Every structure is written in structure tokens, then in C-alpha cells.
Structure 1
Amino acid sequence: MVSAPLALPMDVALIGLLGAAVLLYSIQDELPAVDALLEVKLEEPLRIYTADGSLMAEYGVQRRRAVDFEDIPPDLVNAFLAAEDSRFYEHRGIDVIGLARAAYAVAQAGEATQGGSTIPMQVARNFFLTPEKTIKRKVSEIMLAMRMETTLSKEQILELYLNKIFFGNRAYGISAAAEFYYSKTLDELSLPEMAMLAGLPKAPSANNPLADPERARERRDWILDRMLALGYVDEVDHSMAWVSPVTAEAYVAPVEFEAGYAAEMARQAMVERFGAEEAYRLGLKVTTTIDEKLQTESDRALRRGLMAYNRRHGYHGPEDQLENVGDMSDESLDAYVAARPAVPDLPVGVVLEADANKAEVYLGGGETRELRLWQVNHMRKYVNENAKGRRQSRVDRVIATGDVIRLRQNNKGSWILTQVPTVGGALVALSPTDGAIRAVSGGYEFDWSKFNRATDARRQPGSTFKPFVYAAALGKGYTPASLVSDTKKSFGSWKPKNADGKYMGTIRMRVAIAKSRNLAIINQLDRMGIDYTRDFLQRFGYSMEDMPRNYGLALGGGSSTPLQLAAAYAVFANGGYQVEPHIVQRIEDANGNLLFAAEPPQACVSCWLELEAGEAEVHGLGEADSPLAQQVLDPRIAYNMTSMLQDVITDGTARRARRLGRSDLAGKTGTTNESRDSWFAGYMPRLVAVAWMGMDDNRPLGSGEWGGTAALGMWVDFMADALEDEPIAKIKRPEGMVPVRVSAATGRASSGGSVLEYIRSEYQLMTLGPNPVKYAAASGRSGSSNARRSRSGPRRSAPRRSAPRVMDELF
């Protein structure tokens, strides 16, 4: 019988033992199966590639990459054993001697220089992923470590540890760490680099060679000393490694092809598909539809066009100003220059000194350039969109000390003053066969402005919208020979006018679109009805919200992005099929398994084009068995519209494109009120491209910046290179069309007519349409140009009349 004085302590002890037993029992049930620990989830960054296979961008919050134990160099394993668990091969999950040694080291040094947890315990802690310091968690670690020791081999435990451990900077696993800090594979690492990596798991932030190189080196050298003491390395290797400098550098993705706007579009598509977190962890390999040649030419053409505008309108001054620049060290200047947005071929410069004759400009890295008067005085000061200041006679009246400027090389290789263009612009090209986006340039440079004007800038399309309204007219039974009225008319309080203030009278629809007559299309819209027209225009992908329910619809008074406009013009280019613009072609996971392959609906190429012998019927980037796209437009209407839009180039507002020397080009210029937007939308049957220029804040571009100048110049520049090796495309004339001779003046069918039109067979006797406009000859200098020949008909002798100067303008 237990005496009373001992009863209470024994009861307490018994309760404690029972409590411990309950705790152990509960923990036993909560411990994961060892097999679950063996599953190392690969977590790799998102990588975006061109259609040609070049890396465009890499995005990701962390890197996790597994390797087999046999692929890990022995010296690397030994470095970790020396740093974390030198008795690893001797203990069974818990190292009592190691714990005692760690405690003694703490007492001697006053800080933890070596850990008490074994590698199996660290694996267990990594699994639980919780920082709480409780008895239950510690016991769980110990029990799981012991279970691993009875189930797994030592090599399996090491492999598990080296693949799961965190190395800082979002790198998990030794392979990912080697890539991030040294851009190397494991077998390429040197001994000091191995020791440096082995020092990271204990304190990934404090021992990080990027954040604190000195502290990281101390940790590395301590590990090298341990390796020597344990016999893992000899004196020679130890000495050479010990004196090695810290060489770690943050990993930079080896981008092989720069296309920031396209890469960002693909990134956004992955976030939408997989979610904001998973998109960056699954190691997705995304192959886009971007063609490297076309993208290069798109960027080049857009930059040339924007820079040309820049030169026409003057210098806006420095992009920044530094006070007391003379007191700044080279290191401070280098840091400042490095922080400025990188813009291709336009390096940053800081003006150190400037006087009447020269200026000294610092470019970074100790490099300076001297600018003389002839290198700066071409940059006349911007006054407003229509005026520049006079040319200066002193350098310091153009640039001043402390100015942050940009330089560029001229044709002779000399550096001259410039600026990043203040105007915005976009150029997008897509395949009309399947909607694959082949090139997209959303601004001068992505790092300078990440706003993608090709996809996100909703602007008034101006006269580039007129072809859709004329297509609606053809759909109602009118023909290219139908007369339209380019005459003055009021619509309530609105009194629209042509940009030149002149009127051409009654003219054929073909002439009206080539000359881009505002009153002609407004009067035609009035005859057709706004509701009918808006309903018809949905065939081109526009919603009712995009189109105003008023007469401004005829002049592009709604809204459109350049990409949206390109998709709409694809309907003309491919014979009437509606295709969906897309930039993602394939998605693979980290193991190369196919997750997605685009199979976009495709237009029927053989229905529309005369193909060469042996040429593939479908030319899209998708699978060969992709479904046929929906045909939203009668191919005969597409044929007529293409013919009329070719006249815009041969005899209309886009004559500048004739220098390309191609007969298969069609398109339309567009300029909005006060030249706030300059557009050109054009195509040939295998490629659609849209160019736009405008101020992001919608200020006017200035006089002369019309669709036929600013935007068309970029488009022609792009197409000249894009179509360099592309044969002339020949369109098949759809069935159900008959040749009809019509009068150039009246549009009526006439055996002696000077204009040859192909008319839908059901309308061959009704060339003027269901509600004909009465022909009335115009007189005076603003008279009709009906006598001018059609592109598709022969020239005849006729009195020459002056055609008014054309400028598309939205009122």
C-alpha cells in the first residue's frame, strides 16, 4: 500500500504518462505515410515561347526541381553533411551526440553555429510547413524521422532532403538553387559554390550571398573547414576553395527573343486558365503563335513610325532632371542609369556639364560622350502639335546640366540627341485563315510603357469602319456600281461635312469608298436604316455596345481596338469567315505532357484562293482537322469589298502603298476628328495588319497626321518586309457573279459602259440597288469624278475634273 505522502506525486506521474501516451497515440494517427513524403511536386516557372521555339519570357514565384540521388555530385552531398548532419550515416533519425554538440557550441559562441536537428528531422519539419514551436510538433518531427529511418534508405532520405529544402529567392531543391545562384547544372558547380549552397538552408535570408555576401562567405568558409576536418576534402582543394571570391548572381531568364507585349498577353491567358497561383507553379511551357520575323518587322516599323512623328513635332525636353549632379559619385550615377527603363537603341545619358559649344554626357560604367552643337540642334523645342521652336545656336539652350536624356546613332554611326516618342502607337498582324496573332506591338517598348495599345486601347476607328457599312449596303442589295449621294444634308442640328468642304455629287459606291467621302456614306446609312446596319455589323465581331445608334456610326464614331479591327478585316480577307484572334498555340506541363493544343475554326482556303499545285488547303497554325469557321458574309460581298478596297490603294487615299508593287493588297485609311487617331487597316489574303497612332490622352496629333500618312507609313514599312517572300495571292471569283458593263457616271448597265463590275447574278439588272439615287451631274471645281475609270475597268477619254483633296475626318 502506497503511503499518503507519495500518493499525490505518483498520481501526477501516472496522469503525465497517460497524457504522453494519448499524445503519442494521437500523433501516430496524424503522421503521414512515408510514401507521401517521396512525392516531390515539381514547381517550375511559367515560360513563354515564340512559334519558332525561342524563349520570350519567364514568370514564376518559385522554382522546385527534383533530381535523382545518383545525379548529385559526392562533394555536394558531403558539403551538406558537413553543414547539417555529419553523423547522418551513424544515427537512426535522432543524433543525441549532435544535439549535445550543438548545445555546447551555443554556450561557447553565444549563437547557433551548428544545428541540432538531423536531416531526417528537417525533412519532417519541411513536410509540416509550420513555424510553431510546440512539444507536439517537435515530437511529430522525431517520430516521423524515426519512421523514415526504418522505411527508407539513407540515400532516399538525402535525395528527399536535397529536393525539398528551401534555398531562398523562391528556389526549392538543390537543382533549382544551382540554377538561380550560379546559372549552372549540379555537375558544373565548383567546390566553393557547393559549400555556399550548403550554407543556405540554415538561414536562407541571413546567409544569402546576394543579400549579405560577407556573412554568406563566413558560413561557406566554416563549411569548408568542416569538410576538411571530416576528411571530405584535402588541404589543396580546401585552400583553393577558401580563397575563392563570392560569385553568386541572381538568375536572369535567358530570353532569346524580346516581345514583351506578346509575352504579357500569353501570361494573362495562363492566369485566366489556371489561376493566379497555379499558372506560375506548374512549369507550363506555352508556345505562342508569334512569328519571329513578323514580330521583328512589326516592332521595327512601329518604332520607325513613332520616331518619325517625334522628329516632325519637336523635343519635349529631358525625361528627368538631377539636382547637384556634380556631387554624385560614379556609383550613384550608375545605379540611377541602371534603374531607368531600358529602351532598345536609345541609351540613357546624364548631362554632367553643358556650355555653348559642347556637353559631357555620362552613359554609365564610367563611359562618357561629348555632344557638339550639330548633335543636338536638330531637336527643336516642341511648342504645340502644330509648331516647333527655332533651331538653337548654343548647346546649353537645348540640354542643360543635370538633364536625363536619350541618345541614338544616326546613319553614320554618330551619337545624337533624341527622346522616347511621346506619341502612342500599335501594330498587330494576324492570319485571316485561323485568327492566329503573328505579331503584336503595343507601344514603342514594353519596359517603357506596359499598356498594350493593340489590345486595350479602345479608340474611334474613323473611316476604317466605313467598309463594314458599305458591306451592309451590299447585303441589302446595292452593288459597287450603285450611286451614293455626296451632297450636303442636315440631320437635325447635326450638319456633317467633308473634310475639304467640297462635294462630289452623285458618285458610284466604288468611287465613294476609294475617296472616303463622308457625306456619301452618311446619306447611304440614312437610306438603309441605322438598326439594320448595326445588326449587320455584328457579323464582323462588333457588339451593339461598340456601335452608336446614330449617324456617327457611318464615320466610325464607336470604339475598337486595333486587334478587334484586324479580326473584322479578316472577314474580308478570307472570303467571309469569322475567325477568333488567339495567341496561345500549345501548352505543356513541366514533364512535357500536352495540356492544350489550339484547334481554332479555320476559313476554307481552297474555297477562296487559287492554290499552287501541292499547296496545303489549310494554312493555319492549328491541327489539320480543325473545324470550319462560321461563314458570316456572302463570299461575293467579300469579293466586291476586296475589289473596292484595292481601289483605295491604287486610286484612293492609300496610294502610298502602291510602292509595294503588289496587286493583292487592300485596305482603308482612317483619321478621326482633329487627327486624334491615325489608322490604316489593310490585308492580303494571307495576312491582315492594322496600324494605329495616337496620343494616350487623346490629344490631337497635329495637322497632316492623317491615316494616309502616319499610320499608312508604318503599315507599308511593315508589309514591305513581311511580304518579301510571299507570292502574289490570287482570289477565286465566287460562283453566282456575272460581269456587267456600267456607266462610270450613272452606274447603270450599258453595253458601252466603261467600267466592268462583277455583280451578284440576282442583281445584274439592278445595279443601282433597291432604292436608287437619282443621278445628277455636279458642276464646278467640286464636281463629280465619276468619269475617272474604275480599277477593274479600262480608261476612257473624259473631261478631267478636279477631285478634292481627301482627308478622312470624323465630325
Structure 2
Amino acid sequence: MLLVFLLLSSAGGILSAGFAAPFVGAASAITNASAQLFEELPSDFEIQEPSEVSVIKASDGTQIAEFYAENRIVVPLSDISVNMQNAIVAVEDQRFYQHKGVDPTGMMRALVSNTQSDSRQGGSTLTQQYVRNVLVEAGLKEDDPAAIQEATESTIPRKLREVKYSLTLEQKYSKQQILEGYLNIAPFSPSTYGVEASAQHYFSHSAKEMTVPEAALMAGVTNAPSAFDPVAYPEYAKKRMDWVLSKMLEEKFITQEQHDEGVATQIADMLNVKPEQAAGCGAAGNAAYFCSYVVNEILNSDIYGKEVSDRRQLLVRGGLTITSTLDLGKQQAAQQAIESVIPTDDPSEAKTTVASVEPGSGRIIAMAQNTAFGSPDETHPQATQVVFAADAKHGGSASESGSSGFQPGSTFKAFILAQWYQEGRSGYTTLNTRPRQFSASSWNISCAPELADSWAPQNVNSSLDGSHSVVSATQQSINVGYAEMLNMMDVCAVTDLAAKMGITTNDGSPLEPRPSIVLGSQEVPPLNMAAAFATFAASGTYCRPIAIDSITDTNGTEMAVPSADCSQAMTEEAANKTANTLTSTTQAPRGTAKDAAFGRPIAGKTGTTDNNDNVWFVGFTPELSTATWVGHSDGYWPLNNQVIGGRMYGTIYGSDLAVPIWRNYMSAALEGAPVQSFPPADLGGGGGSSPSSSGGSGGSGGSGSGSSSNNEG
């Protein structure tokens, strides 16, 4: 205890070189007894795995983003060059293999040197330095500033605790394990931690391949990573490197010839600096918004921690490998389809997004939009981090009403059609499509009767007035016809069915069962629409959108991932009837989406909202469902009468902007894939054929306009 006190007191400069000298001769005997310096050693010191980089990968394994608090790659000692192991021992702790965690000889040497010159030498062993790094890392992981300060403050109690922990560590772990831990946790450049990430940064190769000069350079840097950074200060780094080489020669780790060769080696000849990849979704290119969705999926799931702060720490420190559902080829096709119609930062400020999911699994295949990810600047004045396709929990925007997404217009008619068939009704029922007023008393709203109101919807033009079948009303998106269909059913049944397919408010409750829901007056995220329409392609099976296929932790252990929770939302028969009826919208000459055709069976629904401020097309094939939205992200105002994407438009409908983007994407995404057809369905229950039975796959789009009285598809 007297020795420890005297050695620690040297930090305050209270000992002279002459007073310290008698202790040097006794150091050897004291070293052998160092484990008995304290009667009781602490049992609460446990080494945690150091923070590592987490990565998000596309479904094919290609890395798209990484996240870290400290840029570190942990490797075993066998993957670290012996040159590097020797260099760090030579410069930091020459008696590493002799002492038992605390080195009185080294402390005395530092004490004498520090009292006889202006330079300062540390008396801490590698084990002590490792303990200090471990304690700091634990404080960082727990987001505990007090613990970090306690691990680094210049006090005798802190040093005493460090000594006791070091003695404990040496009893529990081998020298090789301690050296491995130190080489993986300490900083070896201003921006990287551990020798592997630092070797990759400075030399563009692994730590296992490090030469003697490279090892000497990096071992010298760790003493003061910013001051000795060879990129910023090559002269200082070279002097430090040469000093490390001399220490390696002194300890007989290298020969004189190796020393001389190392000294003759210039910094510029060694460096092959690999730029550090920025952390976060901003580095994910056109997959940045999908990346943001993945991050929010993790932060919102209690699978990954009780509190959001715990989940964030796991992401930036846990060394996770997150394999996502993203198809890079289809993602690129989605971005190109968007740019071909409304380029990024288009002067019109019109925004668009494409969200694509796989029917029957819920896997998100692509998610793109025409903005740069980040904050607005001179280069990208319309940049944003808002994910247009997603709900508020996954990075989307939320309106003052608490909903997220955009008004879907007549795309919502698909859910009325689905409930129609769910109740066993016929697609050939004749509807009165003449504009008229529906009285409040005529509506059946069992779950909220107070929402019943008189309503007089209008058609987009008078040519649609008269009598039409359900199939015809769908094909031409006839507002009054669909109002009559809803008037014949319980409005709550429609909103309940839509909720089963993910069309809800932000809190998961059904949309308000108002009559005007026929025309899509309540906001819905595009991704949710793509997943809902996928239910029709999957014969009634709805799957919640998922973005993650698998996650492994730093040890390669599989972790749980959010489930798609697939369920049978509607009967197979009703779903197949809905899908077949929706093929009529893509068939010429009357289909509102006839221009969507690209040579294979497709189905879907266009949508245009009040004042033509939001336009949509949600369409699907048996293997892929995609929603395309165009509008303004920060409010509702008309898209009409302006130049968008270099083209002048008059009155804009879903067929004008959303359909071409959808077609360009889907045709590229499915290029070369086998052509699949929808299951045949009897729409009338009395022998009538379905619209797609003849192989029709057309598409275009006369559309309509309006508000709660005049929306169209």
C-alpha cells in the first residue's frame, strides 16, 4: 500500500528523483508480490464487448449503410499482425509479459524520468490502459457521463480502483486475451478505434497484413491520435514512428536491418488512405429513405430494448448485421422511373414516391422518392428526411389531425369493391350513376351513426351519368355509382375491412366511417396502400410491410425481427373477384389506367383528389404490388397548369403522372420474370366471365376531380 501511494503521488510531482531511487532496486521483489497488494479484489469488474459498427445490407448482401458511435471492427488476435502486437508492447508496456497487471518497475522508471526532464512518461501498464478503456466504453454504452468522468479523472481513488481492477483482470484472463482486447478497443486514428478499422483506414488492408513500419506508425499514433495523425501531421507522425522502431529494436522485436529499413520508409509511401464511410442513412444513396424506414423499425420495436435510448445504443454500438428486404435492382428501377417523369429538385416542387411490396410476404422491395436525403441547401433546396411512403412511426409526416400520408382519392374505392364481394354481391349489379343527394337517414353507419350526413356526390363528367354495372363503374371510376354501392352496405364494414389490410389512422384504429370515404378524403401512407392492394394479389392474405429479413449480433447469433403477421383479411373468392374487377381499369378504351399497360396482366386503381392536388396509381401483378403518389409534401395545392418534369400540363389526373411512373418502374422491375395471371373468378355468381379472363392487361387513365363530393381516380 505504501508503494502504491508513493507511485500514485508522483502524478502530483511530490517526489524527487533522489527519493525515488531506493525503491528501484526493490521493484523486482515487489512485482512478484503484486497480486497480494490487496486482501480483497473486486468481483464486479466484467469486460463487455466493445462497440462495433452495425450495417444494413440489401437482400443480396450488398452493404447500403452503417451506423456507429465508434468506427471499430473487432478481430481475434490471430488476425492482428505480430508486428503490431510487438510494436504496442514495445512502446506502451515493455514488461507486459512479466508483470501481473501493475508494474512497479515501470512506474518507478516513469517517476524518475518525469522528475528529471520536462517530458512525461506514463506508468500505466497495457492492462491498466485496457481497464480504463473498458470503463469508458461501459459509460458510453450506458450513456452515463458520470461513469466516464470517474474512469478518466486524475485522482488517487480512480488510480487505485484501476490498479485493483487490473490485478483482477490478470487473474481471470490470459495475456493474449488482454492484448487482444486492448488492440480492439483503443483509438488508433482520430476517427477509428481498434487496429482493424484503423489499418483499413490508413493502409486499405487488414491488420493481419501490417508490416513493421506500418505497425510502428500506428503504435505511435495511439498515444495522441490527433497530434500524431500521419494524414494531417506527417512530420510528427514520422518522428514518433522512428521512436517506436527504436523501442522495438531495444526490446529485440526487430533486427537492426528491419529498424533501418523502417526508418528509411517514408509516410507517403505507406499510406493508402481509404475515406471513412459516413455513418447513417445519408450515405445510402437512393436507398436512404428505405434505410430510414429500417432504422425507425428498430427504434420502434421493443424487441431491441425497453427504451428507445436502449435501441439506439444497440444500433450504433451493437455490431448488428441487418439484412433487409430491399432489392437493389428494383430500387434502381424505381428511382429511374421517378426521375424520368419528375426529377429530383424539379422547379415545380411536385413530389413523388414509389413503394413496392411482395404479395403474400409483406417484404418491401423498393422505396424511392424525388428528393435528396438530408437538410435543404443550395445544391438540393428540396432535400428532406421525411419518408413520403411511410407512416409517422417510420419517418413519414403527420398532419395536424394525427394521420399520416396523403388523401388517396378514388384508389379507396378498391376497399368498397372488396367489401361488396365479401358480402357475396355481384360485379354485374346495375347501379344508378345519376348525380343525386343521399339523405343522412339512408346511410348505415352502425359503429358511429352520428357521422351520417346528407351527401350529393358528382361524376367527373355527364357522360358517366345513367346506369352502369359495378365492373363498369370500377373501370371508369364513377363516383355516384360507388356512393350507391357504399349506401347499400354498412360503412363501418368497409372501414373495418380496410383496417384489416393496414389502412388505419396512426394509432391503428379504423378510419372514420364517413360517406365521403368513397372518394378517399382521409390520409393514407402510400406504403400502406401498396400492402393493402397486395392482399388482392395474394388471394386475401394481408401481410404487414416488413423491411428486415434477418439480424445477427456481433457474435453471429440470430435475433428476432418484426413479423409481417400475415392473416386472411378477406375470403379468397372475394379477393380474386376484386383483383379481376380491378383489371378493368387498365383496359382500353375506357379504363382510367389504360396507359399502365406493359404486356402482362395488371390490376389497380387511379386516384385524384380535390383540386387535383394529389394523384395516385396503386397497381399490382400477381408477384408485385406498387403504389405511386404525386403531390406536394408540405400542403395541398393544385398540380394543374404548370410545367412538371419539363412538360406543360393542364388539368392533371392520376393517369397523367402517377401511371407513367408506375408503368416505367413495373416494366423494368419485372423484366425477364415469368408472366403470371390472376386466378379466374366468377364476378356475378351466375356464369359471367371476369374482365381478365381474355388476358386483358391494358391501362390508361381518364380521371376525375373533386373534393368530398367530386374526387375521382
What TM-score results when the alignment is normalised by the length of structure 1?
0.66
1:32 CA displacement? 3.9
Equivalent residues in 2 for 1:691-730, closer than 5 Å: 691-698=628-635, 699-702=637-640, 703-730=650-677
Q: In the alignment, which of 449, 453, 461 is matched to residue 384 of structure 2?
A: 449
Report the equivalent of 1:608. Answer: none
1:211 CA displacement? 6.3
Report the equivalent of 1:48. Answer: 56
1:808 CA displacement? 4.6
Asked if structure 1 preserves the Cα contact closer than 8 Å seen for 2:615 and 2:654, the reply is yes
Asked if structure 2 preserves the Cα contact closer than 8 Å seen for 1:485 and 1:523, the reply is yes
Cα distance change, pair 584–67 in 1 and its aligned pair in 2 (3 A): closer
Distance 2:296 2:492 in 1: 36
Q: In the alignment, which of 121, 124, 133 is matched to residue 128 of structure 2?
A: 121
Cα distance change, pair 155–543 in 1 and its aligned pair in 2 (3 A): closer
Equivalent residues in 2 for 1:467-482, closer than 5 Å: 467-482=414-429
Distance 2:246 2:269 in 1: 16
1:666 CA displacement? 0.6
Asked if structure 2 preserves the Cα contact closer than 8 Å seen for 1:443 and 1:449, the reply is no
Report the equivalent of 1:510. Answer: 471
Amino acid at match of 1:238: G
SS at match of 1:681: strand
Report the equivalent of 2:704. Answer: 807
SS at match of 1:199: helix
Asked if structure 2 preserves the Cα contact closer than 8 Å seen for 1:55 and 1:257, the reply is no
1:239 CA displacement? 2.6
Distance 1:554 1:679 in 2: 15
Cα distance change, pair 717–59 in 1 and its aligned pair in 2 (3 A): same
After superposition, the CA RMSD in angstroms is: 3.6
Amino acid at match of 2:329: K
Report the equivalent of 1:526. Answer: 487
Asked if structure 1 preserves the Cα contact closer than 8 Å seen for 2:343 and 2:370, the reply is no
Cα distance change, pair 28–517 in 1 and its aligned pair in 2 (3 A): farther
Given the alignment of the two structures, is residue 497 of structure 1 paired with residue 458 of structure 2, yes or no? yes
Distance 2:174 2:429 in 1: 87
Report the equivalent of 1:436. Answer: 363
Whichever of the two has the greater Rg, that structure is: 1
Equivalent residues in 2 for 1:74-153, closer than 5 Å: 74-89=82-97, 93-96=101-104, 98-103=106-111, 105-106=113-114, 110-112=118-120, 114-129=121-136, 130-145=151-166
Report the equivalent of 2:276. Answer: 251
Asked if structure 1 preserves the Cα contact closer than 8 Å seen for 2:539 and 2:575, the reply is yes
Distance 2:166 2:488 in 1: 85
SS at match of 1:220: helix
Distance 2:185 2:693 in 1: 72
Given the alignment of the two structures, is residue 280 of structure 1 paired with residue 309 of structure 2, yes or no? no
Report the equivalent of 1:571. Answer: 535
1:425 CA displacement? 1.1
Q: In the alignment, which of 628, 645, 654 is matched to residue 593 of structure 2?
A: 654
Report the equivalent of 1:488. Answer: 435
Distance 1:125 1:597 in 2: 35
Q: In the alignment, which of 554, 561, 565 is matched to residue 590 of structure 1?
A: 554
Asked if structure 2 preserves the Cα contact closer than 8 Å seen for 1:46 and 1:282, the reply is yes
SS at match of 1:76: helix
Cα distance change, pair 636–279 in 1 and its aligned pair in 2 (3 A): same
1:670 CA displacement? 0.8
Cα distance change, pair 152–633 in 1 and its aligned pair in 2 (3 A): closer
Equivalent residues in 2 for 1:2-81, closer than 5 Å: 28-32=39-43, 39=47, 41-81=49-89
Amino acid at match of 1:426: T
State the Cα deviation string for residues 329-366 of structure 1 (Å, max 9, x = none). Answer: xxxxxxxxxxxxxxxxxxxxxxxxxxxxxxxxxxxxxx
Distance 1:308 1:80 in 2: 51
Cα distance change, pair 734–510 in 1 and its aligned pair in 2 (3 A): closer
Report the equivalent of 2:23. Answer: none
Cα distance change, pair 656–214 in 1 and its aligned pair in 2 (3 A): same
SS at match of 1:277: helix
1:516 CA displacement? 1.0
Amino acid at match of 1:693: V
1:139 CA displacement? 3.2
Given the alignment of the two structures, is residue 634 of structure 1 paired with residue 571 of structure 2, yes or no? yes
Cα distance change, pair 594–806 in 1 and its aligned pair in 2 (3 A): closer
Report the equivalent of 2:240. Answer: 219
Q: In the alignment, which of 501, 514, 517 is matched to residue 540 of structure 1?
A: 501
SS at match of 1:707: coil
Greater strand percent: which structure? 1
Distance 1:185 1:470 in 2: 60
1:691 CA displacement? 0.9
SS at match of 1:236: helix
Distance 2:198 2:68 in 1: 14
Asked if structure 2 preserves the Cα contact closer than 8 Å seen for 1:485 and 1:524, the reply is no
Asked if structure 1 preserves the Cα contact closer than 8 Å seen for 2:585 and 2:604, the reply is yes
Amino acid at match of 2:542: Q
Amino acid at match of 1:669: T
Distance 1:584 1:105 in 2: 57
Amino acid at match of 1:62: E
Asked if structure 2 preserves the Cα contact closer than 8 Å seen for 1:657 and 1:716, the reply is yes
Distance 1:565 1:145 in 2: 59
Report the equivalent of 1:175. Answer: 196
SS at match of 1:47: strand
Q: Which runs of 5+ in 1 are unaligned?
A: 1-23, 311-315, 317-384, 386-421, 602-628, 741-755, 759-789, 795-803
Cα distance change, pair 709–139 in 1 and its aligned pair in 2 (3 A): same
Equivalent residues in 2 for 1:325-340, closer than 5 Å: none
State the Cα deviation string for residues 588-622 of structure 1 (Å, max 9, x = none). Answer: 12232222367755xxxxxxxxxxxxxxxxxxxxx
Asked if structure 1 preserves the Cα contact closer than 8 Å seen for 2:607 and 2:615, the reply is yes
Q: Which runs of 5+ in 2 are unaligned?
A: 1-34, 137-150, 305-310, 375-382, 391-395, 398-404, 439-452, 641-649, 696-700
Q: Which moved more, 1:533-542 or 1:211-220?
A: 211-220
Report the equivalent of 2:143. Answer: none
Cα distance change, pair 734–156 in 1 and its aligned pair in 2 (3 A): same
SS at match of 1:307: coil
1:291 CA displacement? 1.9
Distance 1:554 1:735 in 2: 25
Cα distance change, pair 252–96 in 1 and its aligned pair in 2 (3 A): same
Distance 2:639 2:415 in 1: 26
Given the alignment of the two structures, is residue 581 of structure 1 paired with residue 617 of structure 2, yes or no? no
Asked if structure 2 preserves the Cα contact closer than 8 Å seen for 1:500 and 1:806, the reply is no
Amino acid at match of 1:121: Q
Distance 1:594 1:212 in 2: 43
Cα distance change, pair 242–716 in 1 and its aligned pair in 2 (3 A): closer
Asked if structure 1 preserves the Cα contact closer than 8 Å seen for 2:602 and 2:619, the reply is yes
Amino acid at match of 2:595: R
Report the equivalent of 1:765. Answer: none
Distance 2:472 2:552 in 1: 52
Distance 1:533 1:526 in 2: 11
Q: In the alignment, which of 244, 250, 261 is matched to residue 237 of structure 1?
A: 261
Identity in percent: 28
Q: Which moved more, 1:467-476 or 1:92-101?
A: 92-101
Given the alignment of the two structures, is residue 289 of structure 1 paired with residue 325 of structure 2, yes or no? yes
Cα distance change, pair 542–26 in 1 and its aligned pair in 2 (3 A): farther
Q: In the alignment, which of 592, 611, 627 is matched to residue 674 of structure 1?
A: 611
Cα distance change, pair 489–28 in 1 and its aligned pair in 2 (3 A): farther
Distance 1:805 1:92 in 2: 83
What TM-score results when the alignment is normalised by the length of structure 2?
0.74
Cα distance change, pair 593–499 in 1 and its aligned pair in 2 (3 A): same
1:142 CA displacement? 3.7
